[in-house]
Chain A
Amino acid sequence: MTPTKINIPATLSRVSWIIRYQYLPYVINLAGKVFGVTNWMIEDISPTELLKKVTHIQYVYPALDTLHPSRKWRNLRSEVQRTGVRMSKSGLGVGETHTVDVPCQVNGTDKVIGTIYVSQGALLDGLSLSVTMLTPGTARAQITNHGAASITIDIHVSINIVRSPQAIVNSEPNDPTYLVFGQMVEDGSTVEQAEETLRLMAQRIGGGAKNNMVVSDYFFHIYGYSYNLRMSSGNWGEMSRSVQTQANARKRVDFEGNLQGEAVFFSSGAYLYRNQIYNGYLDSFTGTHGRFMPYEIILNYTKHYIATSGDTKMFTFSWQENEGVGSPAERVGGAYQLLRFPDKSGSIARHDRYTLSGEVIFVQAFWTILVGDGLVFWDGVGPMIKDPHAFIPGFNGPIKWIPDAGSEQTYNPNDPQQPAKVTSVAGVFPPTPQVGQTAAFRAAWVCSQIMGVSDRTSLYMLWATFTYVIDGISAWGYYNEPAPANGSLGHARLNGFGQPVNLNEVNAINQCQFSKPLAILTVGVDGPAFVWHWPDAPLSKTVTVNVSNFGGFSVDVRGRAPQVFLLN
């Protein structure tokens, strides 16, 4: 076979403050897989143009009302109104009830369910609180004294009004191609309400999980729905055990990597009618460091395929920001990255949260699209424009002016030596560099070359038998030999792609454990391709890879990013 590298156009890799790929002529064809986004340069790029570059746009723009559901993805929201009310009364007698009516901005056709948060976290003993809807426009909060003596109350109550599952479903398109996620739990719905919403949506379509694109609420994973594992635990034995049986594959995994009970996704029966989310929330350095990501993605998709026998899809839900969850050092520290104004001799620096690099997003998007069912790239919704003068204040702290000559200053918009600040009704300049979404697109573009452009993936994927040479020193491709470990079917094919379940396919685990490269052959109706990715590769050295499959071939690779070769 003759390998031909798929070279990524340099301009697609160019770092940028704006979502630059949307201006470039490159398009994707993922042959049915998903690459969805939220943010777009709405001022310059029409939906028609954007839809050449993504498969789905998040349905948060009125402009998309007429767009077919198959090109939209939705993050279901349940929140209608979140209202704080102070309930104060001195001498609330035994058996007495204190009532406060709260106006609600509620659609008269919605059935409304109230949820309650109390400022103290719990009511004092003897008091009960209820919230009812009197009319579609009024919520009534009532505190009743069930105690033995009168009491003075001064309680802040948060009334979070959410729509009923049926009301949410009724407001959404009924289409089997409509890609649906949810943040209903974060909005205040209970897990049960959120699940009921998804169930109703799937039931309305009918035909089970295979027949719809209903996925999951993105908070479900913290309520026991997930069975993903993190390789950073280093619990290699449990990882291997997780792919030995379907029952193990369905098990939750604790922080140390130990298999727990059956994930709620299965125990609740949700897997029968909807699909699964792959948590792509990368977050802080503390949770994302190391080489693990590509191996982890392969393993978790393997686990999912075994757990569901391939009957449900799993989509990755990601974004490019680092909020610093569990890492106050990052949350507080934030980032100061330079935004330069070509007409001025200097840059400004705003304090904002960290943005993940395009490098890591590229890895995540590449592997989740290649071995999974695709990725949606969630983000906050705000029209973005490319005029840097429309920058916005920082997340925390003053804006700095960094002149080319001289010391940094506090930004002064009235100083003619400094860039002007403008406010545009069209939108804002992106607050953080938008390298992530372009990197995700770049990954989708590379995948397109071996999916829709030339089908090199639809049949199966196979761990390659290979050796690799650095500085004249040859190494086996796997920790113990050049050949991969075979699974229960007697071969080393990855799980997925409609193939029979291949239990005990543990090569991703082994490669990660021993810091070995990922060398995978993909096969489609147009022939094979070769995928190489070695997160621990030396940056400045060329690695020669000798693959013995398909009659044998060699490629030279360099760097830590995934690289793809067509084999002809």
Chain B
Amino acid sequence: MPHLPISAVPDKPIALSGGGYRFVVQLVTCQGQPATHPNIETPTQVFTVPSAAQPLLFEIGYGTYTLDNLKFRVHSDNQNSGCFLDSQCLNGYAIDCPLLGITLGGGNVECMTGDCIEDWQPAGALFHKGGSTDTPYCQAGPELWGISKLAADRFRVDFHANGVDYIVLDISDEIGTLVERYNTPKLTGPNFVAQLITPLTTGVSYLFSLRGRDCVPRDPSKSRLLFTIPDISVEPCDATWSSVDSALYCSGGTTPSRPACYDGPNPLSVTKQSNLVYVVSYHANRMNDYTPKGIAWKFLNSSGSIVASGSTGELSTSSFTITLPTPLPIGNYTVKLDGAGCDHQNPSLSVLGFTVEDTPPPVISYPLFLYEAVLPSRVISNITPVLSIHELPSDWNVGWRGFNGQLFDHVDVEMWDTTSGAEVAIPSNYLFHADVPPTTEQLNPSLFPGNSTFPPGLHRPNSTFRVRVTYSYHGVVLGSQEARFGFGGGQDQSAPNPGIPYSETKNGVRVDAIDSIAARVVVLENGNVRLIAPLTRLSFNGANVCRLFLYDGQHNRLLSAEREALLSSNGLSYPDGEHGLMAIYVNAPLDNYDSVENNLYGLFGDPSTYASNSARKDMIFFTVGASGDEPTPPTVPTFNSRVTQPYCDGFSLVGAQLTLTNIVGATRYRISYTPTYVEQGNCTASDGVITGNLVNIPLIPGASGTSRSFTVRVYANDSCDNYADTSGVIYAQNCAAPEITHLNLDMSTLIDSSARCGEYQNYPIVYDIYAKIIAPGTTFDGATARIGSAPGNSFPVGLSPENSILMAGYNSSCGGGVPVGQPANSIFYRFVVNLNQVYAQYPQLNGLTVEMWGERIKNTGAGARDTLWFTQNTFTKVRTISIAPYNGIYFSRDPLYTGVATQRPYQTYNGAVGGVRKLGTFTFNRQSQVLSFTAGA
């Protein structure tokens, strides 16, 4: 990029009282008139630089365009000061770099790249670039978040952007020369791999700059990163590495032996469908371009051991299904993906953690609703000898609806002919059996396969049946529903009463009677009953005339007046109820009942005399009652039902319930914890009332880890007769209280004043972890603090003073506030924090070197990162910075500088700012290792 000559340099830049100088940059025509450009906003913003000698950089944004008849004018202090210099007149000047730099002293305008940008940290752009019709701002980003060396000519770039489909990566050397430009394919994720033509040189810094192919970043300062090419490349180290930083340096830097995958595979989700079936969704490109094709997957447990692995073969979808031979125990796992024929370019993106929780059977709300089959009695007319399915009413279907979308996968229908009292099974081949898709509603299947005819005998009138529909999942019966139905005979199905010779209602009194051949009762107009019977009858042998004597159904005499009334035209008023009349004819004096009852043997029993003294008697049975008192036929409640399986709330299994909806005709229910209903005591009792069309019936699960059958009998009324049953199974998860088996400070993972400690096992229902740090010798008596949450099997605990006691426990509440005192259901363990043990692993300060612009510290410790404190002579901490564990690499730091350290081997320390060098001491946190230096020496 040629330099643009600046014709003049302000010779008297106006110094500011706080230090530095202030300039205004203006775009003007070559004739010195204010100018505009569609891609360059007229620069009116004032900016400062700390030194008049430093280059003034201003940003014009990405994009390629041409400047004609324009030049930049730099004012000292303000635009109207009159102290300015102009660049050369730019005609046909192509702009394709993000920055223009004006060397105030040199008179040049140049495109600037290189690490000097790092020194220009004022937030925001110097120029705000207005919208352009051909290169608009990107919706968001692209921001450059990270660079990983996969190989000398292959780099992974992590970015963030929205609305950016393609990215242009420019790689420039330290002096701003474009080394390589890489255009991505269409983006599919938050990173891409740039395959370069020219390998980048190890140890050399390059500026990586991003812009959209079709848009420019609104804030270019976030889209570039100066990156020094490390001497090692990324390769998979272990399954636990999780950051770009550690990924870069997790091993000795060998190049993967297999080709790097083009893109991905990155696991996006792991979904457990059953104990054995998991679905992994992923992002990847060109997985089938390698040999072998597809994705190699591994499941690793929390210890990093592989518990299952395999390959997918050729892939055509964005997810694949894994079927394990055995269930995964409860715990935390990691899925790691690689190409079957290539290695993931960035292992940090190839892993995804997931948790296997207790696996109850699928939460299935199965239909306990037999569609329109609850027919206590059904009249079928025109029954033909062979009745096909098509001749039955169309609603003889089995269906299901209204469940929650989880699946059952099989439906069976069983049926028994109960007509004879024996339950004769209908052969199964006549009945519906099917695997079914996980649909929420299906009403079509018939009780019988569509093309079959009814079994012999099924269609006859007055036959009754029991039908049961069973729903299962993977062979496990989830529930069933039974119904009874029958073919009627065409008469009063509630209570037939054939053969009654007399039934008549008069004056509101109904009389039904089974008369004798010679004696009968009738109801008179006044509602009374009259007996019509002969008053005499010849004895069996015709020897005597026998007289009528009337007795009631209890074989007791009627009162004399009542006998007379009964035989009279006025009749006798009878009370409601069933009555009998016994009309005996014996050879006895008129109305002399005593004579009859005192001579029963002679009149009836003596074989030698009875035929002369008695005649055939008549029996009349009759009922007197109000008309219209027949009960309505039995009604059976109807409803839909679904089971909500219980879940663990803390250590309690709660929430099991049966929900009945669309209830019609039900008033109460009873629960029997048996597969079919078993009456327990009083059937008229109630376990709950039903007052509307919906009721939630709490269910009591069995012991943890077991299943328990239940049957709810829903009654239509207070009688025990009219009911419908619904059955199901409750699956009880194991909600046993977790037990913290031990607490362990894992010193190797101490991070930023925290430690990983407190392992616990297989406790998916632990939500909050609490710990308390107390001083030695004290007792645990205070409130705990919530320090972590589960599920998981470890949690961080803030480091405490040496020899303090850490107590940790857990609480089962989910999302609740911090409890006061010892959390309920907690088990606290205590251990002593041994800080000496901690510090022994910390890096050692090994030297302090003061170089030209500052001081450099050599860290020769091993292992984890640490925090570096800078203190002054008084040992007062002035600030803290975090430094990555660059073994053996020099660090240097400006103690006055408040920015976040970057990961570079060193940087200049300008101790001469303001002409005053700071004296200070470097101290590593907690180690009391002090190396002093004198800044500015």
Contacts and interface: CB of A to CB of B under 8 A. Distances in A.
B515 A23 contact: no
Contacts of A61: 421-422
A144 interface: no
A285 B604 contact: yes
B626 A31 contact: no
Interface in A60-78: 61-64
B499 A17 contact: yes
Q: Give the one of B466, B540, B578 with max A CB within 10 A.
A: B578
Interface string A415-431: 00000000000100100
Interface string A319-355: 0000000111110111111111110000101000011
A237 interface: no
Given A48-B418, A329-B603, A539-B552, 9 more contacts: A14-B623, A15-B513, A23-B493, A23-B494, A27-B719, A43-B462, A333-B540, A539-B575, A560-B556
Interface in A158-204: none
Interface of A: 8-11, 13-18, 20, 23-27, 29, 31, 40, 42-48, 52, 61-64, 284-286, 288-291, 293, 326-330, 332-342, 347, 349, 354-360, 362-363, 386-388, 400, 402, 408, 426, 429, 433, 435, 439, 442, 452-453, 535-536, 538-540, 558-561
27 contacts: A13-B578, A14-B495, A15-B512, A15-B623, A24-B495, A26-B719, A29-B682, A29-B684, A52-B720, A286-B604, A288-B555, A291-B554, A329-B603, A329-B610, A335-B617, A336-B516, A337-B517, A339-B501, A340-B499, A340-B502, A354-B619, A357-B580, A388-B498, A452-B684, A538-B559, A539-B559, A539-B572
A430 B615 CA distance: 26
A359 B421 contact: no
Interface string B6-18: 0000000000000
Nearest to B498: A388
A46 B631 contact: no
Interface string B618-633: 1101110110011101
B489 interface: yes
B422 A63 contact: yes
Contacts of B559: 538-539
A360 B575 contact: no
A8 B575 CA distance: 12
Nearest to A66: B423
A433 B634 CA distance: 25
Nearest to A453: B684
Given A360-B555, A453-B684, A337 B584 contact: no
A335 B618 contact: yes
Contact of B499 (A341, A439, A558): A341
B877 interface: no
Nearest to A391: B499
A20 to B, nearest CB: 6
Contact of A9 (B420, B605, B615, B629): B629
A20 B498 CA distance: 10
Interface in B548-601: 551-556, 558-559, 562, 565, 572-580, 582, 584, 597, 600-601
B607 interface: yes
B721 interface: yes
Nearest to B515: A338
A358 B621 contact: yes
A558 B576 CA distance: 9
Contacts of A429: 498-499
A400 to B, nearest CB: 7
B562 A360 contact: no
A293 to B, nearest CB: 7
Given A25-B631, A29-B683, A339-B501, A327 B562 contact: no
A544 B453 CA distance: 65
B496 A20 contact: yes
B198 interface: no
Interface residues of B, number: 87
A31 B464 CA distance: 29
B497 interface: yes
B514 interface: yes
B578 A24 contact: no
B621 A433 contact: yes
Contact of A27 (B420, B500, B558, B721): B721
Contacts of B484: 46
B621 A329 contact: no
Given A25-B634, A42-B421, A559 B575 contact: yes
B418 A46 contact: yes
Interface in B668-684: 682-684
A535 B578 contact: no
Nearest to A364: B554
B722 interface: yes
Contacts of B623: 10, 13-15
A335 B619 contact: yes
Contact of A360 (B497, B499, B554): B554
Q: Give the one of B421, B497, B576 with max A CB within 10 A.
A: B421
Contacts of A18: 496-499
Given A17-B498, A24-B494, A52-B721, A63 B578 contact: no
B553 A349 contact: no
Nearest to B562: A539
A63 B420 contact: yes
Contacts of B562: 538-540
Contacts of A439: 578
A452 B480 CA distance: 30
A356 B581 CA distance: 10
B582 A285 contact: yes
Contacts of A290: 555-556, 597
B825 interface: no
Contacts of B555: 285, 288-290, 360
A17 B623 CA distance: 13
A388 B493 CA distance: 16
Contacts of A433: 514, 621
A560 B554 contact: yes
Given A329-B604, A559-B575, A10 B625 contact: yes
A18 B510 CA distance: 19
Contacts of B616: 333-336
A11 B629 contact: yes
B498 A63 contact: no
A16 B517 contact: no
B419 interface: yes
Contact of B464 (A20, A44, A349, A387): A44
B540 A340 contact: no
A44 B418 CA distance: 9
Contacts of A358: 553, 578, 580, 621
Contacts of A357: 553-554, 578-580, 582, 619, 621
B515 A337 contact: yes
B614 interface: yes
Contacts of A14: 495, 497, 512, 578, 623, 625
Q: Give the one of A16, A388, A433, A559 with max B CB within 10 A.
A: A16
A23 B578 CA distance: 18
B518 interface: yes
B517 A359 contact: no
Contacts of B495: 11, 14, 20, 23-24
Contacts of A339: 499, 501
A366 to B, nearest CB: 11
Contacts of B601: 286, 326
A231 to B, nearest CB: 13
Contacts of A356: 580
Nearest to A404: B501
Given A13-B577, A25-B634, A357-B619, A452 B682 contact: yes
Given A29-B682, A340-B499, A329 B553 contact: no
Nearest to B416: A46
Interface string B456-495: 0000001010100000000000000000101001000111
Query: What 10 A-B pairs come out closest when comparing CB atoms?
Result: A357-B580, A359-B553, A559-B575, A357-B553, A10-B625, A336-B517, A333-B616, A63-B422, A63-B421, A340-B501
